[in-house]
A = this chain, B = another copy of it.
Amino acid sequence: MSSKQFKMATSFAEENYLKIIYRLSEGHNEDVSTNAVAELTQTKAASVTDMLRKLADKGWVNYQKYQGVRLSPEGEKIALGIVRKHRLWEVFLVEKMGFNWDEVHEIAEQLEHIESDTLIDKLDAFLEFPKTDPHGDPIPSKSGVMPELGYLHLADIRVGKSCVLMGVAKDSAVFLQLLTKMNLSLGSGLSVQEINEFDRSIAVSIDGKPAVFISHEVAKNILVKLAQ
Protein backbone atom coordinates (compact mmCIF):
# COMPACT_ATOMS: atom_id res chain seq x y z
CA MET A 1 0.00 0.00 0.00
CA SER A 2 0.86 3.67 0.31
CA SER A 3 2.79 4.96 -2.73
CA LYS A 4 1.01 6.77 -5.56
CA GLN A 5 -2.74 6.78 -5.04
CA PHE A 6 -2.93 10.33 -6.34
CA LYS A 7 -1.07 11.73 -9.28
CA MET A 8 0.85 14.88 -8.58
CA ALA A 9 -0.40 17.92 -10.45
CA THR A 10 1.53 18.80 -13.58
CA SER A 11 1.68 22.29 -15.01
CA PHE A 12 1.27 23.10 -18.66
CA ALA A 13 5.01 23.84 -18.94
CA GLU A 14 6.05 20.66 -17.15
CA GLU A 15 3.85 18.56 -19.40
CA ASN A 16 5.41 20.13 -22.46
CA TYR A 17 8.92 19.41 -21.27
CA LEU A 18 8.10 15.79 -20.48
CA LYS A 19 6.44 15.32 -23.86
CA ILE A 20 9.43 16.82 -25.66
CA ILE A 21 11.97 14.76 -23.72
CA TYR A 22 9.90 11.72 -24.62
CA ARG A 23 9.92 12.64 -28.28
CA LEU A 24 13.67 13.22 -28.28
CA SER A 25 14.46 9.93 -26.63
CA GLU A 26 12.14 7.77 -28.71
CA GLY A 27 14.12 5.01 -30.33
CA HIS A 28 17.64 5.93 -29.09
CA ASN A 29 18.72 4.79 -25.68
CA GLU A 30 20.80 7.86 -25.00
CA ASP A 31 20.34 10.85 -22.75
CA VAL A 32 18.78 13.95 -24.26
CA SER A 33 20.83 17.15 -24.37
CA THR A 34 19.80 20.44 -22.86
CA ASN A 35 20.15 22.19 -26.20
CA ALA A 36 17.93 19.70 -27.98
CA VAL A 37 15.20 20.30 -25.43
CA ALA A 38 15.67 24.07 -25.70
CA GLU A 39 15.16 23.94 -29.45
CA LEU A 40 11.87 22.05 -29.27
CA THR A 41 10.45 23.97 -26.31
CA GLN A 42 11.42 27.22 -28.05
CA THR A 43 13.23 28.42 -24.95
CA LYS A 44 16.85 29.09 -24.02
CA ALA A 45 19.22 26.47 -22.64
CA ALA A 46 19.37 28.29 -19.30
CA SER A 47 15.61 27.98 -18.89
CA VAL A 48 15.82 24.29 -19.69
CA THR A 49 18.44 23.74 -17.01
CA ASP A 50 16.09 25.34 -14.47
CA MET A 51 13.21 23.15 -15.47
CA LEU A 52 15.24 19.95 -15.60
CA ARG A 53 16.23 20.44 -11.98
CA LYS A 54 12.60 20.94 -11.08
CA LEU A 55 11.49 17.84 -12.98
CA ALA A 56 14.26 15.83 -11.34
CA ASP A 57 13.12 17.03 -7.89
CA LYS A 58 9.65 15.72 -8.66
CA GLY A 59 11.07 12.39 -9.74
CA TRP A 60 9.97 12.57 -13.35
CA VAL A 61 13.42 12.63 -14.94
CA ASN A 62 16.90 11.44 -14.14
CA TYR A 63 19.22 14.35 -14.54
CA GLN A 64 22.87 14.86 -13.67
CA LYS A 65 24.27 18.22 -14.61
CA TYR A 66 26.25 18.20 -17.84
CA GLN A 67 25.10 14.61 -18.48
CA GLY A 68 21.78 15.19 -20.18
CA VAL A 69 18.36 13.98 -19.13
CA ARG A 70 16.21 10.86 -19.41
CA LEU A 71 12.64 10.19 -18.33
CA SER A 72 12.04 8.15 -15.19
CA PRO A 73 9.32 5.48 -15.39
CA GLU A 74 6.85 7.95 -13.80
CA GLY A 75 7.89 10.68 -16.21
CA GLU A 76 7.43 8.37 -19.16
CA LYS A 77 3.96 7.49 -17.94
CA ILE A 78 3.01 11.16 -17.82
CA ALA A 79 4.53 11.80 -21.23
CA LEU A 80 2.67 8.87 -22.77
CA GLY A 81 -0.56 10.21 -21.28
CA ILE A 82 0.01 13.56 -22.98
CA VAL A 83 0.89 11.92 -26.29
CA ARG A 84 -2.22 9.75 -26.02
CA LYS A 85 -4.40 12.80 -25.48
CA HIS A 86 -2.70 14.74 -28.28
CA ARG A 87 -3.23 11.96 -30.80
CA LEU A 88 -6.80 11.16 -29.80
CA TRP A 89 -7.72 14.83 -30.12
CA GLU A 90 -6.08 14.89 -33.56
CA VAL A 91 -8.25 12.00 -34.65
CA PHE A 92 -11.28 13.87 -33.34
CA LEU A 93 -10.33 17.04 -35.20
CA VAL A 94 -9.88 15.24 -38.51
CA GLU A 95 -12.61 12.60 -38.28
CA LYS A 96 -15.33 14.56 -36.55
CA MET A 97 -14.54 18.23 -37.12
CA GLY A 98 -13.42 17.89 -40.72
CA PHE A 99 -9.96 19.44 -40.41
CA ASN A 100 -7.16 18.44 -42.78
CA TRP A 101 -4.16 16.58 -41.44
CA ASP A 102 -1.96 19.65 -41.70
CA GLU A 103 -4.28 21.81 -39.58
CA VAL A 104 -4.62 19.89 -36.36
CA HIS A 105 -1.26 20.00 -34.65
CA GLU A 106 -1.52 23.44 -33.04
CA ILE A 107 -5.00 22.86 -31.73
CA ALA A 108 -4.08 19.45 -30.33
CA GLU A 109 -1.12 21.09 -28.57
CA GLN A 110 -3.70 22.94 -26.51
CA LEU A 111 -6.23 20.14 -26.10
CA GLU A 112 -3.60 17.68 -24.86
CA HIS A 113 -3.47 19.56 -21.54
CA ILE A 114 -7.17 19.22 -20.72
CA GLU A 115 -7.33 17.29 -17.51
CA SER A 116 -10.02 14.61 -17.30
CA ASP A 117 -9.36 10.91 -17.56
CA THR A 118 -13.04 10.23 -17.99
CA LEU A 119 -13.22 12.57 -20.94
CA ILE A 120 -10.33 10.81 -22.65
CA ASP A 121 -11.90 7.39 -22.11
CA LYS A 122 -15.17 8.63 -23.56
CA LEU A 123 -13.42 10.32 -26.46
CA ASP A 124 -11.52 7.11 -27.21
CA ALA A 125 -14.79 5.17 -27.32
CA PHE A 126 -16.51 7.88 -29.39
CA LEU A 127 -13.72 7.61 -31.96
CA GLU A 128 -14.03 3.81 -31.87
CA PHE A 129 -10.65 3.17 -30.29
CA PRO A 130 -8.36 4.35 -33.08
CA LYS A 131 -4.92 2.77 -33.24
CA THR A 132 -3.20 5.65 -34.99
CA ASP A 133 -3.58 9.39 -35.42
CA PRO A 134 -4.11 11.19 -38.76
CA HIS A 135 -0.36 11.11 -39.41
CA GLY A 136 -0.09 7.38 -38.83
CA ASP A 137 1.48 7.76 -35.39
CA PRO A 138 0.46 5.07 -32.90
CA ILE A 139 -1.79 6.03 -29.99
CA PRO A 140 -0.48 4.82 -26.62
CA SER A 141 -2.87 2.63 -24.65
CA LYS A 142 -4.64 3.87 -21.54
CA SER A 143 -2.16 1.87 -19.46
CA GLY A 144 0.73 3.68 -21.10
CA VAL A 145 2.04 1.29 -23.72
CA MET A 146 3.16 2.69 -27.06
CA PRO A 147 2.46 0.19 -29.87
CA GLU A 148 5.54 -0.50 -31.98
CA LEU A 149 4.51 -0.34 -35.60
CA GLY A 150 7.88 -1.02 -37.18
CA TYR A 151 7.47 1.04 -40.32
CA LEU A 152 10.33 1.73 -42.70
CA HIS A 153 11.44 5.03 -44.19
CA LEU A 154 10.65 5.39 -47.87
CA ALA A 155 14.26 6.53 -48.35
CA ASP A 156 15.42 3.05 -47.33
CA ILE A 157 13.27 1.07 -49.77
CA ARG A 158 15.08 -0.74 -52.60
CA VAL A 159 14.37 -0.11 -56.26
CA GLY A 160 11.62 -2.38 -57.54
CA LYS A 161 9.85 -2.75 -54.19
CA SER A 162 6.25 -1.72 -53.58
CA CYS A 163 4.96 -0.35 -50.32
CA VAL A 164 2.07 1.49 -48.68
CA LEU A 165 2.32 4.91 -47.08
CA MET A 166 1.54 4.33 -43.39
CA GLY A 167 2.71 7.50 -41.68
CA VAL A 168 4.94 10.54 -41.58
CA ALA A 169 7.95 11.24 -39.39
CA LYS A 170 7.28 14.96 -39.23
CA ASP A 171 3.99 16.80 -38.87
CA SER A 172 4.83 20.34 -39.83
CA ALA A 173 2.08 21.94 -41.88
CA VAL A 174 4.32 22.77 -44.85
CA PHE A 175 5.54 19.19 -45.14
CA LEU A 176 2.04 17.76 -44.94
CA GLN A 177 0.73 20.27 -47.46
CA LEU A 178 3.49 19.28 -49.85
CA LEU A 179 2.51 15.62 -49.56
CA THR A 180 -1.09 16.55 -50.24
CA LYS A 181 -0.06 18.49 -53.36
CA MET A 182 1.84 15.41 -54.54
CA ASN A 183 -1.29 13.32 -54.03
CA LEU A 184 0.25 11.44 -51.15
CA SER A 185 -1.82 10.44 -48.16
CA LEU A 186 -2.11 7.55 -45.71
CA GLY A 187 -2.76 4.40 -47.72
CA SER A 188 -1.13 5.57 -50.95
CA GLY A 189 0.49 2.69 -52.83
CA LEU A 190 4.09 3.47 -53.73
CA SER A 191 6.47 1.64 -55.99
CA VAL A 192 10.09 2.71 -56.14
CA GLN A 193 11.26 2.80 -59.73
CA GLU A 194 14.63 4.44 -59.51
CA ILE A 195 17.02 6.06 -57.05
CA ASN A 196 19.08 8.91 -58.50
CA GLU A 197 22.61 8.86 -57.24
CA PHE A 198 23.11 12.57 -57.89
CA ASP A 199 20.69 14.01 -55.32
CA ARG A 200 19.32 10.78 -53.83
CA SER A 201 15.87 11.68 -55.13
CA ILE A 202 13.69 8.72 -56.02
CA ALA A 203 11.25 8.10 -58.82
CA VAL A 204 8.09 6.68 -57.35
CA SER A 205 4.85 5.62 -58.92
CA ILE A 206 1.90 6.61 -56.73
CA ASP A 207 -1.19 4.41 -56.91
CA GLY A 208 -0.08 3.04 -60.27
CA LYS A 209 0.30 6.41 -61.98
CA PRO A 210 3.41 7.46 -63.91
CA ALA A 211 6.40 7.99 -61.62
CA VAL A 212 7.16 11.36 -60.02
CA PHE A 213 10.31 12.56 -58.27
CA ILE A 214 10.47 12.65 -54.50
CA SER A 215 13.41 14.36 -52.83
CA HIS A 216 15.49 12.47 -50.33
CA GLU A 217 14.44 14.96 -47.64
CA VAL A 218 10.80 14.10 -48.23
CA ALA A 219 11.46 10.35 -48.60
CA LYS A 220 13.23 10.30 -45.24
CA ASN A 221 10.06 11.53 -43.58
CA ILE A 222 7.63 9.13 -45.20
CA LEU A 223 6.93 5.92 -43.31
CA VAL A 224 5.87 2.84 -45.24
CA LYS A 225 5.34 -0.86 -44.91
CA LEU A 226 6.29 -3.22 -47.71
CA ALA A 227 3.38 -4.49 -49.78
CA GLN A 228 2.36 -7.95 -48.45
Give the interface of A toward B (CB within 8 A). 93, 96-99, 103, 106-107, 110-111, 113-116, 118-119, 122-123, 126
Asked if A93 contacts B119 (CB within 8 A), the reply is: yes
In the complex, what residue of chain B is closest to A96 when comparing beta carbons? Answer: B126
Q: B residues within 8 A CB of A119?
A: 93, 97, 107
Complex CA gap A106/B119 in Å reads 11
Of all A-B residue pairs in the complex, the 5 with the closest CB atoms, nearest first, are A97-B122, A110-B114, A107-B116, A107-B119, A98-B122
In the complex, what residue of chain B is closest to A12 when comparing beta carbons? Answer: B12
Question: Which of B96, B107, B116 is the one whose CB lies under 8 Å from A114?
Answer: B107
Asked if A97 contacts B114 (CB within 8 A), the reply is: no
Q: B residues within 8 A CB of A114?
A: 107, 110-111
Complex CA gap A166/B23 in Å reads 49
Asked if A115 contacts B126 (CB within 8 A), the reply is: no
Complex CA gap A97/B89 in Å reads 13
Complex CA gap A171/B20 in Å reads 38
Complex CA gap A18/B114 in Å reads 21
In the complex, what residue of chain B is closest to A107 when comparing beta carbons? Answer: B116
Question: Which of B97, B110, B111 is the one whose CB lies under 8 Å from A126?
Answer: B97
Q: Nearest Cβ in chain B — how far from A78, in angstroms?
A: 18
Q: Nearest Cβ in chain B — how far from A217, in angstroms?
A: 30
In the complex, what residue of chain B is closest to A115 when comparing beta carbons? Answer: B110
Q: B residues within 8 A CB of A111?
A: 114
Q: B residues within 8 A CB of A110?
A: 113-116
Q: Nearest Cβ in chain B — how far from A46, in angstroms?
A: 24
Complex CA gap A114/B106 in Å reads 10
Complex CA gap A115/B107 in Å reads 8
Q: B residues within 8 A CB of A122?
A: 97-99
Given A97-B122, A107-B119: 11 more A-B contacts, CB < 8 Å = A93-B119, A97-B123, A97-B126, A98-B122, A99-B118, A99-B122, A107-B114, A110-B114, A110-B115, A110-B116, A111-B114
Complex CA gap A110/B120 in Å reads 14
A–B Cβ pairs within 8 angstroms, 18 of them:
A93-B119, A96-B126, A97-B119, A97-B122, A97-B123, A98-B122, A99-B118, A99-B122, A103-B118, A106-B116, A107-B114, A107-B116, A107-B119, A110-B113, A110-B114, A110-B115, A110-B116, A111-B114
